[in-house]
Amino acid sequence: MALRGLAGSGPSSRGPLEEAVAPAEERETPAMVAAGAAREDDDEDDGRGRGLLRWDGFSAWLHCVCVVGFDLELGQAVEVIYPQHSKLTDKEKTNICYLSFPDSNSGCLGDTQFCFRFRQSSGRRVSLHCLLDQFDKDLPVYLKKDPAYFYGYVYFRQIRDKSLKRGYFQKSLVLISKLPYIHFFHTVLKQIAPEYFEKSEPYLEAACNDVDRWPAPVPGKTLYLPITGVVMKVRIPTCHDKPGTTQIAQLTQQADTHISVILPTVHEVDLFRCFCPVFFHSQMLWELVLLGEPLVVMAPSPSESSETVLALVNCISPLKYFSDFRPYFTIHDSEFKEYTTRTQAPPSVILGVTNPFFAKTLQHWPHIIRIGDLKPAGEIPKQVKVKKLKNLKTLDSKPGVYTSYKPYLSRDDEIIKQLQKGVQQKRPSEAQSVILRRYFLELTQSFIIPLERYVASLMPLQKSISPWKSPPQLRQFIPEEFMKTLEKAGPQLTSRIKGDWIGLYRHFLKSPNFDGWFKTRRKEMTQKLEALHLEALCEEDLLLWTQKHTEVETVDLVLKLKNKLLQADREHLPVKPDTVGKLRTHIDAIISALPEDLQGILLKTGMT
């Protein structure tokens, strides 16, 4: 059998891994009726029941909660860290302080929500929760945790208060987490922050306690997350979901948000609202993000900068954006110098900024998006033309995209017409976002399918797998060979968009996004080969083999097999469920046929 076509026909189809986990549906059946029934859902267990220590439940979701205030003498300062034992380095604290407040010029009276992302200090012990790693493997690639970064989710309040020396009450409640669940944490903060500002410490203690009792963030399950009097229902997507679908079932008609809230998504942003100011250039921006071009979003406030950056990163989904992105970046950031230096070409990053100082600092950047206030699904700006970079003045430049980039693909006017019509008909922003999201998804899929297909063809034939040799290697990725496949099986099969697709691919192959994508695929395929090799070994009559070989060779085989088993366990190799068990039986049989002194030694080595 040839294994070609293994990686399937689309980015969603992960062939070999598919059988691993089917989304578990909520175990809510009418079977548990009547008083006296046992508690129906283990997931609502308070954590300790599963033998978890206090705060283990909390740290599966959040690293810590910070309160950042303004001290007249010190400036911004972290006033509270909860839980108190959470570790943040001084550098991390400084970053959090600056990133948790809007730049002084952006006003922001009232309540403002935004998000930032910052680099974890080097030398910090990487605390990979073994339990969570297991969840990580079922997540879509774009939702996997990045061990080197934290997210900060901010709720900032600034109101006049004459009783304070500064004349203003200014405070941020900040959630620090590894999880990129932007919409989810946004909703959590909206729920807890306003009350926190009224009721302070005991409230924070209560909220953190609620989080500590949450079930673990398992992908594919409907999770019930009670917090401060409200139950939030969410479902974290899995890599096995069909892209572009949400799968949270509404079982009850519950309109009262004081009781429960259903989140249709944990990570998506309102794409249309964010793209609205630069709506005509959506497709060009998609290209720039896909190619990992340096991009800066200059916005009037951090909420607009962060939303827009996240929308950009989101628009190439289900592809993961592999370079760094900073939804809100300030001149105090520890990477400020690294990212703004003129001594080398601008890095492949997307920055969201609000400080006008950046207009000068980043003047040399090739692509600049300038947006005004995001209007709630309002008018679409009239101007269509891309602006010349030299017209970008420091302060008073108009909204638009400033670049000299010539897109590879010709613009799809149909989507623009469709969205324009939607605006005329006052179609809600959410509906417009769905249209735009589907359009981006189709575009990304059309682009990636030929690559998926070609990469799948690099898989060796099954017959080349021999139990007595190392697993065969993947064939090399040869760009020219790939380009040739485009004639017959290029994006023209699935997309009506014309233009220089070949040019786009050539450019993409040099980008960090290709690099990251290919590494992921190669790893999956190598693991699949390892798994197939393991299965091939399993099918052999190993005992018979040992009878024909010397004792030394037999011992060598046992050690090799034990190593394989360890690897299968460690890397979660996609083996058939009974393979590991079978191999163990083989090993035991071989060992028990050996002399007793050897048996003792072999049983102890490489325990699995």
Q: List residues binding other proteins (CB under 8 A).
A: 28, 30, 32-41, 44, 46, 195, 199, 202-203, 205-207, 209-210, 213, 224, 226, 228-231, 251-252, 254, 256-260
For residue 154, the minimal CB distance to other proteins (Å) is 22
For 202-270, list the strands marked E by DSSP. Answer: 222-227, 230-235, 260-262
Smallest distance, other proteins to C-beta of residue 470, A: 53
Kindly report the backbone phi and psi dihedral angles of residue 77, in degrees, each rounded to the nearest multiple of 5, phi listed first: -145, 145
Tell me the C-alpha distance between 193 and 394, whole Å: 35
Three-state secondary structure of 2-69: CCCCCCCCCCCCCHHHCCCCCCCCCCCCCCCCCCCCCCCCHHHCCCHHHCCCCCHHHHCCCCEEEEEE
| DSSP-derived 3-state class of residue 299 | coil
115/261 with CB nearer other proteins: 261
Cβ distance to other proteins smaller for residue 1 or 35? 35
Q: Which is nearer to other proteins, 189 or 392 (CB)?
A: 189
Nearer to other proteins, 202 or 577 (CB): 202
**Identity of the residue, 250 or 410, whose beta carbon is nearer to other proteins in the bound complex:** 250
Least gap, CB of 247 to other proteins (angstroms): 19
Nearer to other proteins, 39 or 548 (CB): 39
Rounded least distance, CB 403 to other proteins, Å: 48
b/e sequence 442-467, b meaning 16+ C-beta within 10 Å: bbbbbbbbbbbbbbbbbbbeeeebee
Q: How far is the CB of 55 from other proteins (least distance, A)?
A: 12
Residue 290 burial by Cβ neighbours in a 10 Å radius (0-12, 13-18, 19+) = buried
Parallel, antiparallel, or unpaired for β 349-353 and 295-298?
A: parallel
**In this structure, what token pair is assigned to residue 281?**
């250039």
Whichever of 42 and 553 has its CB closer to other proteins, that residue is: 42
Backbone angles phi, psi at 436, to 5 degrees: -65, -40
Q: 209 or 418: whose CB is closer to other proteins?
A: 209
Comparing C-alpha atoms, which of 211, 186, 149, 321 is closest to residue 266? 186
Which tokens is 531 given? 């798994």
**Segment holding 112, helix H or strand E:** strand 110-119
Residue 36 or 51 with smaller CB distance to other proteins = 36
Q: Are 288 and 97 in contact (CB under 8 A)?
A: no
CB atoms inside a 10 Å sphere around CB 500: 14
List the Cα angle 481/482/488 in 5-degree steps.
105
Looking at the Cβ atoms of 205 and 413, the one nearer to other proteins is 205
How, if at all, do strands 149-160 and 168-177 pair?
antiparallel
Q: Which is closer to other proteins, CB of 226 or CB of 467?
A: 226
**Nearest to other proteins of 195, 335 (CB atom):** 195
d(CA 529, CA 148): 29
Q: Which is nearer to other proteins, 206 or 380 (CB)?
A: 206
Output the smallest distance, CB 200 to other proteins, in A: 9
Eight-state DSSP code of residue 342:
S
Query: Alpha-carbon distance 180 to 171, whole Å?
Result: 23
Q: Which long-range contacts (CB under 8 A, 24 or more apart) does 132-139 make?
A: 132/60, 132/216, 132/217, 134/572, 135/216, 135/217, 135/218, 135/219, 137/572, 138/20, 138/21, 138/219, 138/220, 138/238, 138/239, 138/240, 139/219, 139/236, 139/237, 139/238, 139/239
Reduce the DSSP state of residue 360 to 3 states and report it.
Answer: helix
Q: Does residue 297 contact residue 359 with C-beta atoms inside 8 Å? A: no
**Mapping DSSP to helix (H, G, I), strand (E, B) and coil, where does residue 220 land?**
coil
Distance in Å, CB of 160 to other proteins, minimum: 24
Closer CB to other proteins, residue 255 or residue 544? Answer: 255
Edge-to-edge strand order for the sheet containing 349-353?
Answer: 324-326, 349-353, 295-298, 367-370, 400-403
Cβ at position 226, least distance to other proteins in Å: 4
User: Closest CB to other proteins among 9 and 209?
Assistant: 209
3-state secondary structure 410-476: CCCHHHHHHHHHHHHCCCCHHHHHHHHHHHHHHHHHHHHHHHHHHHHCCCCCHHHCCCCCCCCCCCC
| Smallest distance from other proteins to CB 189, Å | 15
